[in-house]
Chain A
Amino acid sequence: MKVPELLGRSDYALISELIPEGARVLDLGCGDGALLAWLKENKRVMARGVEIKRDLVQAAVARGVTVYQGDIEASLTDYPDGAFDFVILSQTLQETRRPQAVLERMLRVGRHAIVAFPNFGHWRVRLAHLTSGRAPRTPLFPYNWYESPNINFLTVMDFEEFLRNQSWQIERRMFLAGHRRIEWSPNLLCEIAVYLIRRGCKVCYSDN
């Protein structure tokens, strides 16, 4: 199944499908605010963004998005519990220093979390590693080891195991390879995984 692009990105198209009209949305690592501006315009959401890079913050403010310039993890401590319906972390999880803390806080300030990340288990990554004997460089992970922003390398299987251990629920998951939806063997075939998750009933986490 082919997925259309939204603002040049297929994962944005999937994310936007998950968000209903008028929702309260926080986008962590919102960049120049393109996704939030689109959601505001087309879904009339209450939009908030967090971004650390100064020039991107300015670009986002200039297009009328409410942005907080700062670190993602630190920013999450100030919002009240349940302040948002959806907290988005799009292709940034692999760059966060304490991903577990970030995800826990996302599910404190938001009822749902949307997490999109590049899948390190993709066959191309495995093949590159196996054949070259070096840190894999692929279209999805194009960086040299010494200049990569990525510090966590996780796969679809890793992430789902983590969610199970946390007793968090997967409400929806979608897998992308280029512009195509992947329905089977996602750990081997998908490039970008998109999850909609929420806290399980059993676990109660308080963020102090």
Chain B
Amino acid sequence: MISEVHYAQFASLALDCGDTLRDVTVAYESYGSLNRERTNAILILHAFTGDAHAAGIDPEGKPGWWANMIGPAKAFDTDRYFVLCSNILGGCRGTTGPSSINPETGKPYGLRFPVITVRDIVRLQKALVDHLGIPKLLAVAGGSMGGMQALEWVVSYPDMVEACLPIATTARHSAQQIAFNETGRQAIVADPDFNGGDYYDGPPPARGLAVARMVGHITYMSDESMREKFGRRLRNRESLSFGFDIDFEVESYLRYRGSQFVGRFDANSYLYITKAMDYFDLANGAPSLAAALEKVLSRFLVISFTSDWLYPSYQSLEIVNALRSRNHDVTYCELSSSYGHDAFLVDVGEQTGIVSGFLARVAKEAGVSEGKGARA
């Protein structure tokens, strides 16, 4: 399955901060076919540093970030469903973000890009879904920050979603989650190459961005997975160096991940997207989370993972219990995995079984026919 990026253009997008963005581009990919009734569309929502390339293989041979979950006979079965994924607002993988050209100045926005929220991100996705002529989504699904978007979707557009799958996520960022994000942001801002966000003509704040990514990677793994993967093994040496070169395998891994990240991600996007996550609170304005979820109409499948300490199960349970207190249709499952937060991306065996069973039920109840119609 070779995937292809498409682009949609929108003249403007109103934002929560009060500003309006002009000339907004969205990069998206799709897999499978939309059925004649246009009822089998599933919107996949990517996590923090993900992109529109969720499935299949791109022209350079790179598999999608959730290729193990999306495809023929997989959890999101592209023989049955039309699966759509777009790069989020504020990103740097084809959708308008701080590295895009500001139409007013002809230069990259940098820090002149307005501060965005998860609701803004979802508002743009809604514009894309409307643009593609999809009246109602069969499901919205995503892990981590993708789960936040899924939750925002059903609160912002309750009658547009049959089912919501928030995975390894939260209804509001906790102090600990904000703290990790702020550490990453400060590493970027403290880099001498940051230059107030105007670094597009020179070297990017590569060291700061790499350190931010290193911190991030620690939070995505678990104590157990790091012990299994690295232990105290030394890297290409027999004994300690008694210096500050790489001694341990884990140091090498984090440095590699950090430097690799610099090549594919924009530091300003890092700032804007982490801020959007930190601002995220589904109850925003409502007296309680349960009250915020009062009017949702979707069925829910909430999944958490035992070793995920970045988005621990108690945060999923907050969502689930708020939904149950309003008697909504919510299925909750805590899957066993040693992979930490990364589990939703890499440890997909059990996740596949419950997602496909859940979707089959939703499709049946929504009277969805098999997806063999025209492409969107």
Q: How far is the CA of A148 from the CA of B64 in the complex (A)?
A: 48
**Which residues does chain B contribute within 8 Å of A4, judged by CB atoms?**
none
Residue interface bits A67-95, CB-to-B below 8 A is 1, else 0: 11110000100111001000000000000
Residue of A nearest to B321 (CB): A78
Check if A179 is an interface residue, CB within 8 A of chain B: no
Q: A58-B350, A58-B353, A61-B301 are in contact. Are A66 and B330 (CB under 8 A)?
A: yes
A64 near B327 (CB under 8 angstroms)? no
Whose C-beta in chain B lies nearest to the C-beta of A54?
B336
Interface string of B346-366 (1 = CB under 8 A from A): 000010011011101100100
**Which of B321, B332, B336, B360 lies in contact with A67, CB distance below 8 A?**
B332
A61-B324 CB under 8 A given contacts A54-B336, A66-B299: no
Q: Does A69 contact B327, Cβ atoms closer than 8 Å?
A: no
From A62, A78, A80, A83, contact of B354 by CB (8 A): A62
In the assembly, what is the distance between CA of A9 and CA of B327, in Å?
A: 30
- B327 touching A83 by the CB < 8 A rule? yes
Q: List 15 A-B contacts (CB under 8 A).
A: A58-B335, A61-B357, A62-B353, A62-B356, A64-B358, A64-B360, A65-B331, A65-B361, A66-B299, A68-B331, A68-B332, A69-B334, A70-B332, A79-B324, A80-B325
In angstroms, Cα B163 to Cα A66, docked, is: 12
Q: Size of chain B's interface in residues, with CB distance under 8 A?
A: 26
| Chain A CB within 8 A of B107 CB | no
Cβ-closest chain B residue relative to A79 = B324
The distance in angstroms between the C-alpha atoms of A154 and B356, with both chains bound, is 41
Is B37 an interface residue when CB atoms closer than 8 A count as contact? no
- What is the CA–CA distance of A64 and B332 in the complex, to the nearest angstrom? 12
Taking CB atoms, residues of chain B closer than 8 Å to A66 are: 299, 329-331
Q: Kindly provide the distance from the CB of B338 to the nearest chain A CB, expressed in whole angstroms.
A: 14
Residue of A nearest to B361 (CB): A64
Task: Find chain A residues with CB under 8 A from B299 CB.
Answer: 66
Contact status A54-B357, CB under 8 Å: no
